Chains A and B, each alone.
Chain A
Amino acid sequence: MTKVFARTKGLIDVPNHYCPGCGHGIVHRLVAEVLEEMDLLDHTVGVAPVGCAVFAYNYFNCDMYEAAHGRAPAVATGAKRVFPNNCVFTYQGDGDLASIGTAEIVHAAHRGEKITTIFINNAIYGMTGGQMAPTTLVGQRTTTSPKGRDKDLCGEPIRMAELLATIEGSAYIERTAVNNNANIIKTKKAIRKAFETQMERKGFSMVEVLSTCPTNWGKSPIEAMQWLEDEMIPYYPLGVFKEV
């Protein structure tokens, strides 16, 4: 019998803790597959965030750090400066990257830090139980916006890909989604492009992935994918925002 599918070597063979229908698991696999296909695993160092992906260091089959909340780009900077030939990536949620860690991500891009950031935008704080994120949509109910996000009170959601694309040091910035197979394939291509950008030393690279949190959205996995498509994609357009 010919083997048509095997688990990527980029992931350790352990069960993960993500909820059914969560986008994190999909994106983990895509990152790991790309690292394996590009033959980067033996000189890759990853930085896990504080958020639902906090245990990513138990899943990615390479040297890993766990960073304080939001500081992954700073930690990655330290790691990359010591080993400039290593492939260094951060994996961050939207509370981590777009709220507490905005200074670190903006300045990693601003320095043209040769790292790759995988940014999971699920429009909510997953790990702490579904509070409002800077990326939460106007009207979206969360545990700290029980009547829906009020734009007069909290502003409107922040578009990180567009923001970071304005920075000179950014070399590749794309937004993708994991709501269907076609978009998952596009996400993998974007991740590959981002790592290539890093290894060609062009500058900072980030893929923002629109992802699901069925648990805190109060939806089934299928409903969550549909909500991503109907509500998130219209506000967060997919596409390449920067490529040098």
Chain B
Amino acid sequence: MTTKQLMKGCEAIAEAALRGGCRYFFGYPITPQNDIPEYMSARLPEIGGVFLQAESEIAASNMVYGAAGAGARVMTSSSSPGISLKQEGISTIAGAELPCVIVNVMRGGPGIGGIQASQGDYFQSVKGGGHGDYKLIVFGPDSVQEAIDIVYGAFDIADKYRTPVMILADGLIGQMMEPVTMPEFKSDEEIKVEKPWAATGWHEGCGRPRAIINSLYIEDEALEALHERLQARYRIIEQNEVRYEYYNIEDAEVILIAYGTISRVCRSAIDELAEEGIKVGMVRPITLWPFPSQAVLDAVAQPSVKKALAVEISAGQMVEDARLAVNGLKEVAFLGYPGSKIATVEEIIAKVKALREE
């Protein structure tokens, strides 16, 4: 059935996860993502899964490691301070080459910060977060529907690459209600992935080697081999998984670069500017890692483009990746606030106009 229904972001993310194959959830309460564990606690037992409220985010992420190592489709969610605590588990999961899905409904930081929407965890999500050389596949949805579609496929991607996948939403995506279409439940066949490496119970002659779920590589060669595997995998992910959206980029004078909630404000600004006859386009990264560097460069390199402007709900994080992509070819300006403020349509319009005049 493809009828539209009105759903709150967090609940929609939870339901889409179940339909995408999630059967285990370990989490800890924190605003503004509480609707995810609450929803999971009611729904997972109904479909034969397990919901467990852990004693902390540290424990939750290590429970995810345990369940992922047993071959399960497992997920956790939290908000910024909780995600900081989960980094031990996330680094361990990445080091042990295990699949899982993590949702971060970002709030303002640093420290306990505030509970308003924020994009302040971009660096933490795409540059590592925990210790060691690893990457997460990171998505930044701009609507409840896109969050649904991403979460629905996230378990397949995690299993395919044996890599944790993170959905980086903000408090607005998590809390707003939008009309959405829910995909069908994936069948048992669809979500059953061969995992001969999983720790399920073993005896000689059972058809697979003894499982050791581990992120310790004490011998130099073993650690080197891990990194060769990881880096080779990351290159393939960069080739296959980059997602972005272009909006009105043809003949644009200015290119906006924005992801998540703030990209919707940018879209409104672009539409208003178009009515005034000012052509502005946007590159909207959907994967934050791998970052759509080529798409950003192609858009900004167009002869019509004078300048680019990155807009974020932060002090300027993604803008660094945008600048790396453009590599000095043209100026990439920045507009954004790290606190409780979000750039308005008017501010974006004013900034674009100022950039045209410079």
Contacts and interface: CB of A to CB of B under 8 A. Distances in A.
Interface of A: 41-45, 47, 54, 57-58, 61-68, 71, 74-83, 86, 103-104, 106-107, 110-111
Tell me the dominant secondary structure on chain B's binding face.
mixed
Interface string B44-66: 00000010101110111011111
Interface in B81-121: 88-89, 92
Q: Interface on chain A toward B: helix, strand, loop, or mixed SS?
A: helix
Given A57-B214, A74-B63, A107-B59, A68 B69 contact: no
Contacts of B216: 54, 66
Contact of A62 (B60, B66, B71, B202): B202
Given A65-B66, A74-B62, A82 B202 contact: no
7 contacts: A58-B212, A62-B210, A74-B63, A78-B68, A79-B66, A104-B59, A107-B59
A81 B73 CA distance: 12
A60 to B, nearest CB: 9
Contact of A83 (B55, B92, B201): B201
Contact of A66 (B60, B201, B215): B215
A68 B63 CA distance: 11
Interface size grouping (class) on chain B: 35 or more
Contacts of A82: 24, 50, 66-67, 70-72
Interface of B: 24, 26, 50, 52, 54-56, 58-60, 62-72, 74, 88-89, 92, 199-203, 206, 210-216
B213 A64 contact: yes
B210 A103 contact: no
A44 B200 CA distance: 8
A75 B55 contact: no
Contact of B66 (A58, A74, A106): A74
Contact of A65 (B50, B72, B214): B214
Contacts of A63: 199-202, 210-213
A45 B214 CA distance: 13
A71 B91 CA distance: 14
Contact of A86 (B52, B63, B68, B201): B201
